[in-house]
Amino acid sequence: MDAVERAKSGHPGMPMGCAPMATVLWTKHLRHNPNNPKWFNRDRFILSAGHGSMLLYSLLHLTGYDLTLDDIKAFRQLHSKTPGHPENFATPGVEMATGPLGQGLATSVGMAIAEEHLRAVYGEAACSHYTYVIASDGDLMEGVAQEACSLAGHLALGRLIVLYDDNGITIDGNTALAFTENTAAKFEAMGWHVQKIDGMDAQAVDQALSSAKQVTDKPSLICARTIIGFGSPNKANSPKSHGSPLGAEELALTKAALGLPNEEFWIPEDVLNEFRAAVAKGDEWEAAWRASAPPSFLAMLEQSPTTDWISNFPTGMEPVATRASNGIALQLAAAQCHVIGGSADLTHNVMTEIKDGGTFSPANRRGRNINFGVREHAMAAAANGLTLHGPTRGMAGTFFIFSDYCRPSLRLAALMECPTIFCFSHDSIGLGEDGPTHQPIEQLAACRAIPNFNTFRPADASETAVAWAVATQSTKVPTAIITSRQSVPNVTPQASADHPAFKGGYVLVDAPSPKVCLVATGSEVGLALSAAKLLEQGGVSTRVVSLPSWYLFELQPDSYRNHVLPKDLPTVSVEAGSTMGWSKYAQAHVGLDHFGASAPANDIFQAFGFTPQNVAAQAIGLLNKK
């Protein structure tokens, strides 16, 4: 209450109502180590209702994490360790960034999958913990959570336990305005173990958590009826305590009603001692785990994937779709990095199957391939959970057009510095007859607009191998590998650890004193090369640049970037997608600023100007303007 009041901003009601069940969870059930927030075998706790962040910050401070009372007092202030919604990179003990409702709950499903899988592969001594979530009405209304909870029930994730803060209040008023379904019955139908309790009764919470831990073949939902703004005489059980401070007068009345002194940031010594016992317990739990976990497992946790495999990547002479190359690169990379994941019912279209990896299911926890079903939104969030859990590396795959369904999780992956691998195939109008509903136009621009996100559209098999090498070595940046349905020629150097695509962009073909430059990505690199031959035949010396990753290219020194794409060299961009953003590299464009069409791919490319003749004509037109 005091932190929100001082910040003049925040959500006091949810923390006040959830305090009893959070206290029980953190003092009686949660196994964690405040001295080492990254202890591998800790229980994971996700505050999916991230607007109630002061609940989590209070717990972290009280249990002894590196979060001082001064940090609490700086709630929601610039550069503080206590931002308005939890951020895993800003605050020790925070597992992921939450706030967009549904995301925390959906991501926790991936964490629970990782725990089940690693326990099956390496044994109980190596990996054996629970994933706990506090979720709100808003979380359960969001579609991503519905998808994820359906998947969790199907996969029988018995160590996933969700405390549902059923306070009956949303911003607009009572939840009955928009949310009247039978939540308990719905979750039971999805295969969950469900209990209903009084969430303000600490003993009932304790018993419910103990019961949930005994159920090993179903995820658990504890429907806990709580009182938002508990203790506030005039704002409890109303939207008035949801998203704004109580106000000085109501704060004083609330403290009096709760029997607390009217003193700011008051913490009784006996309460602090009770919570701080977590420090000694945490050290004991971690020491016991380190003594019993297999040394080989502990060593594996410290290892980083290599790119040694890339020299073994086969690059034939025949044209091949980069989605097929993606499948080959996955096999080699997965042998070096613990990739686990799958696709949204498109495994053999996107080529995301790990051969001989087995399918993860209730009957086979060792499987590395996950059938996510047609649940793109949940798939992307769960893949983030797999990555955040570690040492697993989450992978998600679907058609590129459906990256729109994944986008909130793509953005969160970037924000959380979570290096999940997203495989998006059918990358352009080249997919042909399925038509404009399935042909991505603006999606490349949308993905490139996300900060700290590597959008990599390879030109051929070799660049696809580079994309996977970059993705598996990344520690803080997610990677989207954008691949073609149609076959493309192999036009870049043989895959190797020093392939120039590691720099994001490079001169593929050059001419003495080039007069014009063609810069392209993906399937259009081969087109640019064909156009360059026409220009050369006409006496126009031409440079061709492959630019598979704008993100990596922008990381290079100015001197390198200016060498590849000189500012005084007339440049035409060639890409079967929106031209938005290309103006920073080129002055003329062959692209698509309109939707596609349903027809064979070659006919569409011809109709929309993706021909060597048109690209060459655009280059000549640009030169004439100069």
Evaluate whether residue 3 is within a structural domain.
no
Q: How many domains does the chain have?
A: 3
pLDDT in tens, 293-327: 999 999 999 999 888 999 889 887 799 999 999 99
Could you tell me if 190 and 146 lie in one domain? yes
396 neighbors 456 (Cβ within 8 angstroms): no
Compute the average pLDDT of residues 470-481: 98
Could you tell me if 505 and 407 lie in one domain? no
d(CA 529, CA 100): 44
Could you tell me if 69 and 169 lie in one domain? yes
Domain encompassing residue 463: 308-488
Could you tell me if 150 and 88 lie in one domain? yes
Evaluate whether residue 259 is within a structural domain.
no
pLDDT in tens, 133-152: 999 999 999 999 999 999 99
Evaluate whether residue 231 is within a structural domain.
no
Residue 344 in this model has a pLDDT that exceeds 80: yes
pTM of the predicted protein model: 0.98
Residue 388 in this model has a pLDDT that exceeds 90: yes
Question: Helix, strand, or coil here: 360?
Answer: coil
> Residue 589's pLDDT band (boundaries 50, 70, 90)?
very high
d(CA 330, CA 348): 13
Could you tell me if 188 and 164 lie in one domain? yes
Find where tokens 């464009």 sit. 589
Evaluate whether residue 234 is within a structural domain.
no
| Domain-ending residue, one of 241, 257, 291 | 291
Give backbone dihedrals phi and psi of 506, rounded to 5 degrees, phi first.
-165, 160
* Nearest by Cα to 518 from 565, 550, 476: 565
The structure tokens listed for 53 are: 């962040």
* Nearest by Cα to 571 from 516, 504, 610: 516
d(CA 435, CA 72): 53
pLDDT of residue 311: 87
47 neighbors 53 (Cβ within 8 angstroms): yes
Could you tell me if 477 and 606 lie in one domain? no
Residue type (1 letter), 446: A
d(CA 333, CA 184): 42
The number of CA neighbours under 13 Å toward the Cβ of 483 is: 34
For residue 139, the domain's CATH number is 3.40.50.970
Could you tell me if 511 and 416 lie in one domain? no
137 neighbors 413 (Cβ within 8 angstroms): no
Evaluate whether residue 409 is within a structural domain.
yes
Residue 258 in this model has a pLDDT that exceeds 90: yes
Evaluate whether residue 32 is within a structural domain.
yes
Dihedral sign, Cα of residue 18, residue 20, residue 24, residue 26: positive
| Domain-ending residue, one of 456, 488, 520 | 488
Compute the average pLDDT of residues 528-547: 98
Could you tell me if 470 and 596 lie in one domain? no
Instruction: Report percent pLDDT > 90 for the chain.
Output: 98
Dihedral sign, Cα of residue 333, residue 339, residue 340, residue 344: negative
d(CA 255, CA 480): 50
Average pLDDT, the chain: 97
Give kind and range of the element (H or E) at residue 133: strand 131-136
Instruction: Report percent pLDDT > 70 for the chain.
Output: 100
Find where tokens 């650890």 sit. 497
Find where tokens 């007859």 sit. 433
Compute the average pLDDT of residues 575-603: 97
Could you tell me if 421 and 458 lie in one domain? yes
Could you tell me if 133 and 273 lie in one domain? yes
d(CA 344, CA 163): 28
pLDDT of residue 290: 98
Evaluate whether residue 255 is within a structural domain.
no
541 neighbors 486 (Cβ within 8 angstroms): no
pLDDT in tens, 90-127: 999 999 999 999 999 999 999 999 999 999 999 999 99
For residue 561, the domain's CATH number is 3.40.50.920
d(CA 163, CA 234): 26
d(CA 172, CA 167): 14
Residues annotated as catalytic are 376
Could you tell me if 118 and 180 lie in one domain? yes
d(CA 9, CA 14): 14
Residue 546 in this model has a pLDDT that exceeds 90: yes
* Nearest by Cα to 484 from 404, 577, 553, 572: 577
Find where tokens 């704060």 sit. 251
Could you tell me if 98 and 134 lie in one domain? yes
Residue 615 in this model has a pLDDT that exceeds 90: yes
> Residue 214's pLDDT band (boundaries 50, 70, 90)?
very high
| Domain-ending residue, one of 460, 488, 516 | 488
| DSSP-H helix ranges across 35-142 | 53-63, 69-73, 103-122, 137-141
194 neighbors 223 (Cβ within 8 angstroms): yes
Give every CB contact of residue 459 below 8 A, 6+ residues apart in sequence: 322, 488, 491, 492, 520, 521, 522, 523, 525, 526, 546, 548
371: which strand partners? 343
d(CA 141, CA 136): 9
d(CA 152, CA 191): 8
Burial (CB count <10 Å: 0-12, 13-18, 19+), residue 157: buried
Evaluate whether residue 240 is within a structural domain.
no
Give every CB contact of residue 451 below 8 A, 6+ residues apart in sequence: 414
